[in-house]
Amino acid sequence: MKLISFLTLTFALVAGAVSAADTAAFQVKVTGHGRPMILIPGLACPGAVWDSTVAHFSAHYECHVLSLAGFGGTPARATTGPLLEIAREELAGYIRAHQLDHPIIVGHSLGGFLALDLAATHPDLAGRLVIVDSLPFLMGLMRPGATPEEAKQAAEGTTKAFTQMTAETYAQMIRGGPNGSTMATASVDLDRIIAWGLASDRAMVGQAMIELYSADLRPALPHIKSPTLVFGSWVGYAPYSSHAIATQIYSDQYSGLQGFHLAISDTARHFIMLDDPQWLFTQMENFLATPESGTVSSHP
């Protein structure tokens, strides 16, 4: 269910594609002063999805907000190759070049996957991780026993179907169907998410989606040294899910990551930072202030 909903919403790849250029894997906007914090958006979203988060934390943190190439109107890149791997390595290079000392890395959805991948591949670069509604193996939500190759085939088939839609058909389907309700509660937020998707480059988002669903980071989790806070949501998928089911799924998928903190929201949908920002900020502040491990918390 979550795979279909996520692909349906984020594959707004039917508007005119942004012309590709030989650009970097991402653009960066730096705001604030203090301890470095890198914020990575999810699929088809620009860095603007973190605006309220940056407004809250920039008084005490130097926020480096990424906008991935081809997402949400950010210029695409002509370079071929594994997009997520390229983005991961360019992010590692960015941390080194700017001499960021173990920056906090905050990632939503695909951005959470990149944060985990970076911390597993370059464990000495990353500071604490904040993973917002993302899993190391997304296909596991639908089919826990699926292989990465089966996940790739499913993603390729869904990609082909939705890239053939017109922009009007796509927007009507999201606004009038159940898929939008899994993403955000407020209509103004859902409209922004749809607009970002429609402004995204179809080729880059499609390739990123296939790579994301083909990957399984669970075997790499033991390499991560960073204390990690994982946020999860479930109410957008009711009546197919529950607090207990979400807790079990996240606990199982992150079992290889020693001492992670888990916070499950009972009110927010996939874009937790838009749906319940104050709860998210409080959980983050407590996590960043107290490095205890192994704590499981939930929305009051």
Tens place of pLDDT for every residue, the chain, 300 residues?
A: 444 344 434 433 333 333 344 569 999 999 999 999 999 999 999 999 999 999 999 999 999 999 999 999 999 988 668 999 999 999 999 999 999 999 999 999 999 999 999 999 999 999 999 999 999 998 777 777 778 778 778 777 766 666 677 777 766 665 555 556 789 999 899 889 988 988 888 788 888 888 888 899 999 999 999 999 999 999 998 888 999 999 999 999 999 999 899 999 999 999 999 999 999 999 999 999 986 544 444 444
DSSP codes of every residue in 196-220: HHHTS-HHHHHHHHHHHHH---GGG
pTM of this structure: 0.88
Collapsing DSSP states into helix, strand and coil, what is residue 166?
Answer: coil
Cβ neighbours of 222 (radius 10 Å) = 11
Consecutive H or E run containing 262: strand 261-265
DSSP codes of every residue in 46-63: -GGGGHHHHHHHTTTEEE
Q: What tokens were used for 4?
A: 């279909």
CA distance 107 to 102: 15
Kindly tell me the number of DSSP H helices and DSSP E strands found in the chain: 11, 10
The answer to whether 213 and 155 have CB atoms below 8 angstroms apart is yes
- What domains are there in the chain, each with its CATH number? 2-298 (3.40.50.1820)
Q: Compute the radius of gyration of the chain from its Cα atoms.
A: 18
Q: Considering only CA atoms, which of 205, 228, 188, 206 is closest in space to residue 46?
A: 205
DSSP codes of every residue in 69-133: TTSTTPPEE---S-HHHHHHHHHHHHHHHTT--S-EEEEETHHHHHHHHHHHHSTTT---EEEES
